[in-house]
Amino acid sequence: MEETILNLPEQFSFEPQIINQSNKSFNKYVVCGMGGSHLAGDLLRRIDQSLDIRIHKDYGLPKQIGALTDSLIIVSSYSGNTEEALDSLKEALARKLTVMVISSGGQLLTEAKAANLPYIELPKGFEPRAAIGCSLRAIMQVIGRDDLLRATKQLAETLKPADWRVAGDTLAQTLKGYIPIIYASNSNYSLAYNWKIRFNETAKIPAFYNLLPELNHNELAGFAKSEVTANLNAPFYVLFLADPNDDQRIIKRLEATIKLYTEQGLKTERIDLPASDAIYATFANLILADWTALALAKIYNHEPDRVPLIEEFKKGLS
């Protein structure tokens, strides 16, 4: 995992090639995938919020957005063997929808080749959550965003993962013994969700997230300090992702929430996103999450790469 983090910039040199490319064009997209395999779609929505991209994290296809004939269905599974993604492909083909496959192999890629579907083959050898650079560039290629491909390619030179290692190690020591909760704006949902994924899969600890402003209308009330419930707050450490580009009203809410939580005796930490372009800020934050989770895995003596509980769960389904 350490090597993967340090080598992340190399993924931005990946040149995705669409095999069996279709002449059809779309401006609406549905990304079907689970876990790390849909994260690239989430991040792309953060980078360009004008894109019409829906994320489907379930079997089949979304039921609430019509016939989908005006959308490109992007089925993404790094392993190519994700049960839900394969079911999404099956339904898309049954409904004669336009489909694009993104995978490194497995049954999904086999089926795409057999059906002469358009597909992009990802480099092998990564954990799905760690192949985020390749996956993101693949989706950018699919939607025809050459400008974003050029911008991300620059990260191969400008992104220096080692720059955030000390900060990640320090944050991990701060979080030792606590359950992290990550708060962010709706615009930064993908970053908050990524932190949760890293804590769960790399560090093997519970972690949760929520979004402003919604959490101010419900979750906040659950942390009211009292003699009876004070011990319930003790296990949590709240990380606030502060983005200078957020709506000023969200920034005000975040600062007020930090103040209120501190007064309630909660442990809090503010993580400021770089005040730079969206692509660089996105990956700087992802890398900090990676280093923090890796350091926590070492603190707890957990294997950072494998996910044995998920593997055991999958065996139980067969």
My answer on whether 10 and 130 are in the same domain is yes
**pLDDT tens, position by position, 71-109:** 999 999 999 999 999 999 999 999 999 999 999 999 999
How would you write the pLDDT of the chain (318 residues) with one tens digit per residue? Answer: 899 999 999 999 999 999 999 888 899 999 999 988 889 999 999 999 999 999 999 999 998 767 899 999 999 999 999 999 999 999 999 999 999 999 999 999 999 999 999 999 999 988 777 899 999 999 999 999 999 999 999 999 999 999 999 999 999 999 999 999 999 999 999 999 999 999 999 999 999 999 999 999 999 999 998 888 888 999 999 999 999 999 999 999 999 999 999 999 999 999 999 887 899 999 999 999 999 999 999 999 999 887 888 888 888 887
Does the residue 305 lie in any domain? no
- Average per-residue pLDDT for the chain: 94
My answer on whether 132 and 233 are in the same domain is no
My answer on whether 129 and 43 are in the same domain is yes
| Cα–Cα distance, 122 to 286 (Å, whole number) | 20
Structural domain harbouring 225:
162-299
My answer on whether 50 and 153 are in the same domain is yes
Does the residue 310 lie in any domain? no
CATH number at residue 295: 3.40.50.10490
My answer on whether 209 and 144 are in the same domain is no
Number of domains in the chain: 2
Does the residue 35 lie in any domain? yes
